[in-house]
Amino acid sequence: MRVFIFMLTYLITSFAEKQDLSGKMLTFPEESDTAHVILVPNQSKSLPAVTLCLRFFSDLSRAQSLFSFATPTNENAFLLFKRENSVYEVDQGGQDIVLFWGLDDKRNEWNSVCTTWNSQTGIAQLWVNGKPSTRKGVRRGRDISGAPSIILGQDQDSYGGKFDRGQSFTGMLTDVHMWDTVLPYPEIVLYMNRIPQKTDGNVINWRSLEFTRKGYVIVENQVN
């Protein structure tokens, strides 16, 4: 298993390209079980907390994966999944919770999403277009550890693969940032309002992103 993980990490980093994607977006033009983007994190240490922010544009009403973070021991170490319109799921370490229900998101428009989780308290929360969810507890006292496999466009049902076409993302993604802390509320407000922030993500940074595209995925200028 260790040899497999080493080889997988080597292959990912060998073919990865690093770019400043400011003003750019990733376009996933069609439903598939192959098209995805592998992100190489800026660090691979254990995560005692997470803030994940991204923007997406899609016309899908079915379930779709927005962000999939797997480790060798858990394919859902941190998953942001949209079940249907206005219903989001955060899966941390194999335990999933619904954090957003009944507040409007928009099809065929840009949606801004941030989610936070703190292992010390277990508290998780979600913001969509500036509106917060209730705060709920999940996997208190357990950091995220293990070599990460981070994928956009697909939900990993095994480490680095086993994709389901019916859970694939179709549309555009941009401004993906991930931190190893819970971002202060004022910083989340800045992100929601597209105002420049004090710090970029220190785990995933859209302005300095190392990534590999697989299948039919295009980097384009962002369309507002």
The predicted-structure confidence for 79-100, as pLDDT tens digits, reads as follows: 999 987 778 888 887 677 777 6
pTM (2 decimals)?
A: 0.90
Give residue 6's pLDDT band: very low, low, confident or very high (50, 70, 90). very low
Closest CA to 152 of 138, 167, 132: 167
Number of domains into which the chain is organized: 1
Range of the domain at 113: 2-221
Cβ burial, residue 55 (10 Å; 0-12/13-18/19+): buried
Give, in order, the Cα–Cα distances in Å from 45 to each of 2, 48, 167: 17, 9, 29
Residue 141 DSSP class: T
Closest by CA position to 222, among listed 49, 54, 65: 54
| Chain segment 134-188, per-residue pLDDT in tens | 899 887 878 898 999 999 999 999 998 889 999 999 999 999 999 999 999 999 9
Q: Which residue has the tokens 């994928």?
A: 151
For residue 133, what is the domain's CATH number? 2.60.120.200
**CA separation for the pair 60, 169 (Å, rounded):** 8
